[in-house]
């Protein structure tokens, strides 16, 4: 509305401090403007992402995460190399970035930020958040093949907050028009590249070694090859599938799942151990299916492995009916992965289907006997339940596969061949008869292959 002077001319409405005030997001500061609502939404999503990042940071800080196929997708994701920037958890970096965004957005709700550099900084942080959120979602989908719900919650809120912020910054505000906008975009993408380079240069994940303090001797034994595992569970080793001679004086116990890619990559290394120790060591295989239908420890539906229970029952059935043919069947199921993935905690390869596995099992056994044992599978289910209880009783922070028990030493995840042999020699006081210079590559050895197929 214009004012009329005494001479009859009209002058524009006086410009007051209120009308001059410009915010970062909107030149018009009228109450209940749409820009204010978008800013509040951006701030709310940023605070939620900050809270989620702090929670994941605390999760990571509770102890060193091991690498392996686990009960939880979050555990697998946080155990990968992509969860670290050098030795610093990326969740800590995310918390710092979200804290900066939250402070900038809260200061800008009712008043402009003090300098243009502050505006550019907010734009830089928004671009960084958007790029990293998309990056981590793609990593979970195509590299890790595992979605952590908490991580996805953080990335979703971060992406929404970044998009709302960038929408406003690129809108009516004059602050980031023209040449200033490319500076924010370049700065954000630069920080994103620093993150990715740091992840690529981070050391690959290592197998986790636990020494369980018990009163048991290094290799307790009893009748029928009975041994007592850390946690107090006694097992009759000759009743379980094995690699190596039944009269071997020393036994490794391996908890594994035929649907776990890391277990398949470890299988060839264990075969080499049996060969190189030439009758001194046998490997007992105890199935731990990562499927909720037969594994009571499985609570994460997103990490459920269909057909894991059926595959375990097939393997046990072949062992019961034709123990001399079990090694052939085990090698058929455990064909090493065609390739390993960059730092993934759950390597994948072409997994044999249950029909194909059953067809091969029928070739190695009597088909009628196999059908009868599988149809009346109470005995097989009891063996699977006993294996699950045995691993569950071992005092470990996480249940990860493969888990190798060597006396009181428990190794989780893939381990280098020389380190595995050193653990066997120091525990049992024996030496290898043969020395293999090359064995199946571990997660630390292989880092540049692509994943052909998920399960």
Q: How far apart are CA 67 and CA 440, in angstroms?
A: 17
Nearest to 244 by CA among 216, 224, 274, 208: 274
- Burial of residue 23 (CB within 10 Å: 0-12, 13-18, 19+) is buried
Lowest mean pLDDT among 4-13, 129-138, 428-437: 4-13
Q: How far apart are CA 20 and CA 27, in angstroms?
A: 9
Instruction: Calculate mean pLDDT across residues 85-102.
Output: 92
Q: How far apart are CA 157 and CA 167, in angstroms?
A: 15
* pLDDT given at position 129: 96
* pLDDT given at position 169: 75
* pLDDT given at position 167: 84
Q: How far apart are CA 412 and CA 403, in angstroms?
A: 5
Checking 357-362 for CB contacts under 8 A at 24+ apart, the result is 357/311, 357/314, 357/329, 357/332, 357/333, 358/314, 360/329, 360/332, 361/314, 361/317, 361/318, 361/329
Q: Which residues contact 125 (CB under 8 A, 6 or more apart)?
A: 97, 100, 101, 104, 188
Quote the tokens at residue 114. 């003090």
Residue 175 pLDDT class (50, 70, 90 cuts): very low
More confident call, 194 vs 31:
194
Residue 7 pLDDT class (50, 70, 90 cuts): low
What stretches of 13-107 adopt beta strand conformation (E)? Answer: 69-70, 84-85, 88-89
45-61 pLDDT, tens digit per residue, is 999 999 999 998 887 77
Q: Which residues contact 372 (CB under 8 A, 6 or more apart)?
A: none
Pairing verdict, β 208-211 and 281-287: unpaired
Flag whether pLDDT at 162 surpasses 50: yes
- Please give the share of the chain, as a percent, with pLDDT higher than 70: 75
Which CATH number is associated with domain 21-201? 1.20.1440.130
* pLDDT given at position 455: 41
pTM of the entire predicted model: 0.68
Q: Angle formed by the axes of helices 116-139 and 180-201, to 10°?
A: 40
Which CATH number is associated with domain 208-428? 3.40.30.10
SS3 content of the chain, % helix, strand, coil (to 5): 50, 10, 40
Question: Where are the domains positioned within the chain?
Answer: 21-201, 208-428
Torsions phi, psi for 349 (to 5 deg):
-155, 180
Quote the tokens at residue 348. 């994948």
Flag whether pLDDT at 223 surpasses 60: no
* pLDDT given at position 51: 96
């Amino acid at each position: 509305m214009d004012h009329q002077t005494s001479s009859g001319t009209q002058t524009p409405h006086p410009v007051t401090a209120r009308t001059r005030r410009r915010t970062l997001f909107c030149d018009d500061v009228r109450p209940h403007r749409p820009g204010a609502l978008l800013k509040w939404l951006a701030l709310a999503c940023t605070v939620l992402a900050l809270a989620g990042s702090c929670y994941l940071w605390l999760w990571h800080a509770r102890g060193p995460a091991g690498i392996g196929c686990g009960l939880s997708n979050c555990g697998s994701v946080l155990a990968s190399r992509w969860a670290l920037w050098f030795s610093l958890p990326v969740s800590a970096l995310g918390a710092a970035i979200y804290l900066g965004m939250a402070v900038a957005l809260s200061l800008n709700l009712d008043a402009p930020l003090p300098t243009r550099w502050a505006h550019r900084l907010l734009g830089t942080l928004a671009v960084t958040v958007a790029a990293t959120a998309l990056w981590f979602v793609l990593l979970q989908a195509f590299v890790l093949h595992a979605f952590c719900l908490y991580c996805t919650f953080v990335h979703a809120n971060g992406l929404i907050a970044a998009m709302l912020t960038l929408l406003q910054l690129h809108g009516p505000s004059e602050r980031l028009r023209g040449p200033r906008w490319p500076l924010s975009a370049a700065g954000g993408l630069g920080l994103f590249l620093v993150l990715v380079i740091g992840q690529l240069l981070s050391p690959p994940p290592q197998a986790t070694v636990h020494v369980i303090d018990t009163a048991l001797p290094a290799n307790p034994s009893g009748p029928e090859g009975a041994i007592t595992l850390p946690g107090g569970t006694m097992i009759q080793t000759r009743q379980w599938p094995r690699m190596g001679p039944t009269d071997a004086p020393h036994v490794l116990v391996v908890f594994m799942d035929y649907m776990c890619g890391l277990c398949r990559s470890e299988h060839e290394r264990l075969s080499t151990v049996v060969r190189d120790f030439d009758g001194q060591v046998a490997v007992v295989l105890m199935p731990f299916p990562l499927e909720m239908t037969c594994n009571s420890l499985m609570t994460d539906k997103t990490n459920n492995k269909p057909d894991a229970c059926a595959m375990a029952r097939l393997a046990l059935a072949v062992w019961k009916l034709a123990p001399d043919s079990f090694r052939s069947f085990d090698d058929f199921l455990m064909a090493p992965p065609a390739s390993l993935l960059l730092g993934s905690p759950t390597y994948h390869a072409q997994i044999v289907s249950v029909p194909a596995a059953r067809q091969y099992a029928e070739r190695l056994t009597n088909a009628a006997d196999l059908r009868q044992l599988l149809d009346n599978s109470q005995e097989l289910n009891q063996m699977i339940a006993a294996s699950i209880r045995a691993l569950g009783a071992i005092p470990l922070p996480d249940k990860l596969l493969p888990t190798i028990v060597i006396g009181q030493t428990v190794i989780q995840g893939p381990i280098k061949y020389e380190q595995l042999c050193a653990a066997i020699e120091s525990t049992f006081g024996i030496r290898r008869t043969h020395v293999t210079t090359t064995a199946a590559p571990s997660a630390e050895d292989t880092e540049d292959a692509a994943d052909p197929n998920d399960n």
